[in-house]
Structure 1
Amino acid sequence: MDIILKNVKKKDYPVLKSLAKSLGFEIVEKPEKPYNPEFVKEILEAQQSIKDGKGVRMTMDELKELCK
């Protein structure tokens, strides 16, 4: 059985880790991967351009036609 702990506070992590070790559990850590900085920059620029009024409004029919 697998147990996944999310949103563990840094102060609680060592306690949980030592408890798991004492009970003989295998501990597998997966480091969080940050977003690609270029992707974040692109998203922030797009949000700013929309705020500046440079966006394009489309109806649902126009959007459906574009996706064909």
Structure 2
Amino acid sequence: METQNIFILEPSTSEEANALKAFATALKIKFEIKEKSYNSEFVAKIQESQKQIQEGKVTRVKKENLKEFLGI
């Protein structure tokens, strides 16, 4: 008997993910794993920030100057 149901499970830890895989495999349930992807604009911003760090385009603030830097 074939069913049209689709279940979407979102494990929050690797242990949960491994348990779900083992469960589905033990019951011979067909499953596929889809990785969550980040928003492409967010990824581009992070990559740009990493590039700026490598180029030395950073601002360093000493702990004692932090409140002044943040305006608090």
Give the TM-score range, shorter chain.
Answer: 0.5 to 0.7
TM-score by length of 1: 0.52
Matching of residue 19 in structure 1 with residue 26 in structure 2? yes
Change (3 A) 1:17 1:48: same
**What are the ranges of 5 or more consecutive residues in structure 1 without an aligned counterpart?**
23-28
Higher relative contact order, chain-length normalized (CA < 8 Å, sep 6+): 1
Which position in structure 2 is the counterpart of 1:48?
51
Aligned mates of 1:64, 1:37 — CA distance in 2 = 33
Which position in structure 2 is the counterpart of 1:4?
16
Give 1:54 shift: 1.2
Instruction: Give the number of equivalent residue pairs.
Output: 54
Cα RMSD over matched residues?
A: 3.4
